[in-house]
Amino acid sequence: MGAGIPIGGWGMDRRAWDASINTWRTSAGRWEEHRARFEAYLETLAFSEEPRLLELVEAMRYSMHGGGKRVRPTLCMEVAHVFGVEPELVLPSAAAIEMIHTYSLVHDDLPAMDNDDFRRGRPATHKKYGEAMAILAGDAFFGEALMLITVHQEGTCEQVLEVVRELAHSSGINGMSGGQVMDMKQTGVGGAADHETLHMIHRYKTGALIKSSARIGAILAGASEAEQAAVSEYAMELGLCFQIVDDLLDATSTREALGKSAGSDAEQGKATFVVVYGLDGATREADKAAEKALAVLSTVDGDTSGLRELVLFIRHRAH
C-alpha cells in the first residue's frame, strides 16, 4: 500500500501508520511494565487469613487472577505517569478499580444477568464455586476496594476522598450499575433501540469506570481541573471505542479467540452497535471514537504517546 492512502478509516497514511506502530513497539514496553507491577501487587493481596473464609478468598482470587487486559488499572497508572508521578503510587487505587471491574464481570455472568458459562477461557466463577459464592465474592470485592483506597492509598485527605467519590459514582446508579439496568431493559429489542439510548447504556455501563480510571490517576498526580477534564474526555471516547469493538468481536469472533461466549448478544436480542448500526456502521463508529480520543490528547501537556498507543491497541484488539 503506497504512501498517502488512508488506513483504517482514520485518514492516516502509510508513513503515519508505520510511525504509530514503531511508537507502539516502544511504548508497549511501558504498558507491559505497568501490567507486571500491577500483577505483582495483586499477588500481595491476601483478603483474609480466616480459615473459615477460605472458599470465599479462593473464589475472589480465581476471579481476579483469571487474566484480562488490565486496561483500567494500567490506564490509571499511565495517566499518573503522564502528569509526572511514579505509577507505583497509584497501585492501591488501580487495584481497587480492577476489583470493581471484576465484581461486575462475576455478577454479569450469573444466570439472572448475561448467563455466561465462560470468562477468559475458564469456567465463570459461578460455574466453579456456585451462584451464592459468586454473588458474595462480588460483594466482597466492593468492600475490599474501599479498604484499599482508604487504608493504603497515599495522598492528601482531599485526594483520597475524591478517589472514593469518583469510584463510587462510576460504579453506582449513574454509572456501571445503572448502565447494566438499561442494558437489561433493552435485551430482546435489539435493533429497536434508538442511537441515543444505545450510547447512554455504554456511557454508563462501560465508559464510566474507564473514565474514572483515567481521572483517578490524574487526581492522585495532582493534575489541574483542565487536565482532569481532558483525560476524562479522552477516556470516554476510549471507553466507547472499547465497547463497540467488544460488540464487533462478539458478532464476528469465536469463543476460543475471545475466551468467553461469542454470538451471545444476538442470541439474547441485545441492543448492540452491530445490531443498531450494522457491521460497517459499527466499524465506522469505532473509528470515529478512536479519532476523537486521539484528538483530545493534543490538548494535554506531557508525554501522551502511551495513551495514544492504547487507542490503537483498543481499536485493533482481537479479543
Written as tens digits, the pLDDT of the chain (319 aa) is 233 223 343 344 445 444 544 554 455 678 889 999 999 999 999 899 999 999 999 999 999 998 788 999 999 999 999 999 999 999 999 999 999 999 999 999 999 998 999 998 899 999 999 999 999 999 999 999 999 999 999 999 999 999 999 999 999 999 999 999 998 888 776 556 788 989 999 999 999 999 999 999 999 999 999 999 999 999 999 999 999 999 999 888 665 655 545 556 656 677 889 988 999 999 999 999 999 999 999 999 989 999 999 999 999 988 7
CA 102/CA 97 separation, integer angstroms: 9
What's the pLDDT at 28? 65
What's the pLDDT at 192? 67
* CA torsion through residues 103, 108, 111, 112, sign: positive
Cβ neighbour number for residue 42 with a 10 Å cutoff: 18
* CA torsion through residues 101, 104, 106, 109, sign: negative
Domains of the chain: 14-316 (1.10.600.10)
pTM of the predicted protein model: 0.87
Closest by Cα among 271, 280, 248, 292 to 195: 271
Tell me the H-state helices in the chain.
Answer: 14-43, 54-64, 71-82, 91-108, 125-129, 131-147, 157-171, 176-186, 195-202, 208-220, 225-252, 255-258, 264-268, 273-297, 305-316
Helix axes 157-171, 91-108, angle to 10 degrees: 10
Which residue type is seen at 275? Answer: V
**With left for phi above 0 and alpha for psi between -120 and 50, is residue 194 left, alpha or beta?**
beta
Sequence-separated (6 or more) residues with CB below 8 Å from residue 48 = 56, 57
Closest by Cα among 253, 210, 250, 245 to 116: 250
Grid coordinates standing for 267? 442470541
For the residues of 3-64, what is the DSSP string, one character each?
TT--BTTTTB-HHHHHHHHHHHHHHHHHHHHHHHHHHHHHHT------GGGHHHHHHHHHHH
Residue with cell 490503537: 312
CA 103/CA 106 separation, integer angstroms: 5
Sequence-separated (6 or more) residues with CB below 8 Å from residue 131 = 110, 111
Which residue type is seen at 33? Answer: E
